[in-house]
Structure 1
Amino acid sequence: MRLFFVPLVVAALVVVPGPAASAAQVRVTSLPALQSAMDKANPGDTIVLADGTYSAGSTLTIRRSGTGSAPVTVAAEHTGLATITGSKTFAFASGVSNVVLRGFKFRNGATLSVPAGASHNRLTRNDFQLTTGGNWVTVSGDDTVVDRNVFQNRTTEGVFLQVLGPSGGMAQHVHVHHNYFYNHQFTGTNGGESIRVGLSDRQSYSAYALIENNLFEKADGDSEAISVKSSDDVVRYNTIRDSRGYIVLRHGNRSLVEGNLLFGSGIRFHGNDHKVVGNYVANSGDRAIVFGSGEEADSGPASKLHDRPDRVTVAYNTVLGSSSVIDGDGGAYLPKDCVVADNIVKGTSGPLVTLPGGSVVKYEGNITWGGSAGMPSRSVDPKLVKDAAGLYRLSSASPAIDTGVGSYPSAAKDFDLQTRTGTFDVGADEYFASGTTRVPLTRSDVGPSAP
């Protein structure tokens, strides 16, 4: 016999089992009933909170785990139509795993955390606009997925999303994708990032975080929209526009910044052995790619000083600006053993590249145009054409085609995520007469309503 939902008149909780041995489907209409249902949840169960506004005066604690194939899901019945207000919010108990928290609108005064020891959990399709300062969401649990959320509208100090970990370590393999970060307007000089991965005292720990396919607009709360303070992370395929915040490798080593589309923003890095490849950076001012200042040769594990860039490769990017398009901050310790190769650097006046004298940098295969180069390069019109999405790509007559120099396997895909063939084309775009072309992310691609 199949059972079905019945209208709720007095009851706050209805359990609707499916066929024998199937997971339960539970609909609740109050926060006490939600807590009761969460306390009884088994792997595969889905608990939905009916549409409405609910004031949380006590913490909603998630204590029951799911499995990899049968997670416990705690969700709004309809995405964005169950609003949490009040002074409290959800909390993941230590050790809880395989739980999905989905579709809520958070307008409350408490920050949300996934603690160390709580692994393989997911925050998806939520809307965060809290009434408190501080770091709104902190992820310290391994293998957490944060996807298709919106973080929006704040003027207070603190970050939208912070990735940390256990004391003296970093959460491993956190995946942040298809989120919308909008309108951070903190006016202080520091502490208003959209995403921060690590802290200065975590810089030597590998996080293996993957930050991809997110959209940032009006990320103005800090000069760093994405701030990386750990090692071995990947920041790729994001779109940043109308923001003062950059992608910044502030501390740590061996991270990859690949295939991002940046408009009015840029990339800055400190530390060792990073790869900055295949990015499209259009900054109408200058300083589109910045070799960060060096206040010490190599940072100690807890140092807050700026580590000089060592052995950083900047290759196969298309960088558009005015002057000082690729720049350096200087400092007592200058870039050492770095590479600038096979980039298209186009400006309106020169010099286009202004690294400090004494920097140890290998230049090869670059094309510059629109001003004095400031580095060894071919000064030739790259013959870029503007496509329907506003991106400047190679035309069929471009001298960048098949003229890449050196071996840079990390740039094996262009900014359309197409595999380059033969001798690579200089810049972020590999010319194909036909094929898939990428467009910048828009609001329809990210956030709670995204595919």
Structure 2
Amino acid sequence: MVPTLSPTRSRSALAAAGVAGLLAVCGPMAAPAGAAAGPRTLTASSPGQLTAALAQARPGDRVEVAAGAYATGLIRVPHSGTAQAPITIAAAQPGQVRFTGAGGLDLTGASHVVVQGFAFDNDAGLTVPGNAAANRITRNTFSGNPGGADLTVKADDTEVDHNTFQNRTTQGVYLQVVGPGAHDMAQRVHVHHNYFYNHQYHGANGGESIRFGLSGRQHAVANGLIEDNLFAKADGDSEAISIKSTSNVVQYNTIVNSRGTISLRHGWNTRVEGNILIGGSTGIRFFGNNHVIVNNVVEDTTGPAMEVGGGEVRDDTTSGTDHEAADHCLAAFNTLSGSGPLVWYNSGKPFPPSDDTLADNILLGHGQPAAKESGTSSHFTGNILFGSPAGTLPAGAYKTVDPKLVKDAHGLLRPAADSPAIGAATGSFPQVTLDIDQQTRPAAKDTGADQHNIATPARPLTPADVGPNAP
């Protein structure tokens, strides 16, 4: 973690900056001799007052910003908080403080800062630079700025939660996570409970809701966590969540009525678990090595429910833009349903996927062949197929039987009490200890994403669960 930065300023320095007359509004810089130096609430109702308040903010302070439009350049956050006492910069009325035009916040060098409750309608969005570690961006609204990305994260230990990203019609990314330099990744970035809505760029590329890395950073270990986010009308790109780095977890997200997929486009060793994808043409696609894809539900998609990617290369050594064949990956205990191919191998690439395992999944088709193309040295066991011919699934890869799935009150496919999927899994797979409900699977595991249980806590996320107004 980057060391905490705690610069101080004297009254004379503030006076030189032209803000001495505002100290009475914002509060004294230091507590009187002998008094406890506790947290303070500083207030600001103009860009100048906000600059002054931030100039004297110390760990534990809260800077509240009055409603209005702030359009006059980037406002520097010159001081850092601490892990125990962050500096909070918050809209006094959430959503009523708008950064527009050239306005915004400059977090360069500022760590342990909370940015809360703002509306970013500005040209440049917000950037968390690489030297601004352990900051939290929470309960803000980003409305499709005309620049490249609404929020760019380059710093370690950044938390991005309970924000709304909405209504972009131009090319660009809602949230991109990169890192310092040309090839590194920010470490331990946590993205959760955000609402990604109505990305309507409709381009061939460059319209992801989340892009976690870049081609040139694909071999950098990020240890990122993307969980409990809702994506609706994520149509700006074929990828709603685009992973282009190594060793991440993508879990318990919901994607509804979207073109965008969960795509492991570059990198290795990512786990995709417990996600719910319903409607649209969405699905899960993966390239690269050693991924684990388990306990996901893809339901009523018109596109491929799962794509096991082939590549222009077998193992990438150049950090280039070529697709890398998916090798040594596990896709197990998923429930895949739709009118397109349920499993698409290779997608016409020169190097087919190799040494992958497709096990204990439920494949519920609507007439189209279940599998398209094939990989090499793939391992199949315990899959249930119903409603479609096998296509290129080899003999012995599946059994054909009605899994007796029924939709619960939230529209999620689950096995009925008499489902032949109950206790039917053939592999032990120590990588899979829970089901989509995060309930423990017994030794006799059920096929598919759901271990049958009367208690069914998992459900698709709704707008009430995410964004600035969620609990």
Verify same fold: TM over 0.5: yes
The CA distance in 2 between the partners of 1:58 and 1:404, in whole Å, is: 60
* Aligned match for 1:365, one of 376, 382, 385: 382
Question: How do 1:254-293 residues align onto structure 2 when only pairs under 5 Å count?
Answer: 254-264=269-279, 265-293=282-310
Question: How do 1:267-416 residues align onto structure 2 when only pairs under 5 Å count?
Answer: 267-328=284-345, 329-356=347-374, 359-374=376-391, 375=393, 376-416=397-437
By how many angstroms is 1:132 displaced?
1.7
Contact 1:134 1:158 in 2 (8 A): yes
The CA distance in 2 between the partners of 1:132 and 1:323, in whole Å, is: 35
2:129 equivalent to 1:134: no
Q: Give the equivalent residue in structure 2 for 1:81.
A: 96
The count of residues paired between Structure 1 and Structure 2 equals 438
The CA distance in 1 between the partners of 2:407 and 2:365, in whole Å, is: 15
The CA distance in 1 between the partners of 2:312 and 2:81, in whole Å, is: 48
Partner amino acid, structure 1, of 2:246: S
2:450 equivalent to 1:435: no
Q: Give the equivalent residue in structure 1 for 2:211.
A: 196
By how many angstroms is 1:130 displaced?
4.2
* Aligned match for 2:173, one of 156, 159, 175: 159
By how many angstroms is 1:302 displaced?
1.9
The CA distance in 2 between the partners of 1:310 and 1:372, in whole Å, is: 26
Change (3 A) 1:194 1:257: same
Q: Give the equivalent residue in structure 1 for 2:73.
A: 58
Q: Give the equivalent residue in structure 2 for 1:15.
A: 27
Segment drifting more, 18-27 vs 278-287? 18-27
Change (3 A) 1:333 1:145: same
Question: How do 1:224-235 residues align onto structure 2 when only pairs under 5 Å count?
Answer: 224-235=239-250
By how many angstroms is 1:81 displaced?
1.7
Contact 1:143 1:172 in 2 (8 A): yes
By how many angstroms is 1:103 displaced?
0.3
The CA distance in 2 between the partners of 1:262 and 1:399, in whole Å, is: 24
Partner amino acid, structure 1, of 2:389: S
Partner amino acid, structure 2, of 1:247: I
By how many angstroms is 1:78 displaced?
2.0
3-state SS, counterpart of residue 244 of structure 1: coil
2:162 equivalent to 1:148: yes
The CA distance in 2 between the partners of 1:332 and 1:222, in whole Å, is: 24
3-state SS, counterpart of residue 243 of structure 1: coil
The CA distance in 2 between the partners of 1:55 and 1:45, in whole Å, is: 21
Contact 2:283 2:303 in 1 (8 A): no
* Aligned match for 2:132, one of 109, 118, 136: 118
By how many angstroms is 1:222 displaced?
0.4
Q: Give the equivalent residue in structure 2 for 1:30.
A: 46
3-state SS, counterpart of residue 36 of structure 1: helix
Q: Give the equivalent residue in structure 2 for 1:45.
A: 61
Contact 2:70 2:104 in 1 (8 A): no
TM-score normalised by the chain length of structure 2: 0.90
Per-residue CA deviation, residues 14-42 of structure 1 (Å, 9 max, x unaligned), is: 43989833111112111111111111111
Contact 1:365 1:403 in 2 (8 A): yes
Per-residue CA deviation, residues 344-403 of structure 1 (Å, 9 max, x unaligned), is: 0001214212233x5321000100101212422110010111111001101110111111
Q: Give the equivalent residue in structure 1 for 2:108.
A: 93
By how many angstroms is 1:135 displaced?
1.4
Structure 2: where are the runs of 5+ without partners? 1-21
3-state SS, counterpart of residue 282 of structure 1: strand
By how many angstroms is 1:245 displaced?
0.4
- State, as a whole percentage, how many aligned pairs show the same letter: 47
2:214 equivalent to 1:214: no
Change (3 A) 1:131 1:206: closer
Contact 2:144 2:165 in 1 (8 A): no
Contact 1:352 1:372 in 2 (8 A): yes
Root-mean-square deviation (CA), in Å?
1.7
By how many angstroms is 1:435 displaced?
2.2
3-state SS, counterpart of residue 428 of structure 1: coil
3-state SS, counterpart of residue 50 of structure 2: helix
Change (3 A) 1:121 1:269: same
Partner amino acid, structure 2, of 1:207: A
By how many angstroms is 1:323 displaced?
4.4
Q: Which runs of 4+ in 1 moved over 4 A?
A: 16-19
The CA distance in 2 between the partners of 1:187 and 1:48, in whole Å, is: 38
The CA distance in 1 between the partners of 2:76 and 2:220, in whole Å, is: 30
By how many angstroms is 1:296 displaced?
0.7
Q: Give the equivalent residue in structure 2 for 1:108.
A: 122
The CA distance in 2 between the partners of 1:351 and 1:130, in whole Å, is: 39
Contact 2:171 2:203 in 1 (8 A): yes
The CA distance in 2 between the partners of 1:13 and 1:354, in whole Å, is: 68
Partner amino acid, structure 2, of 1:352: A
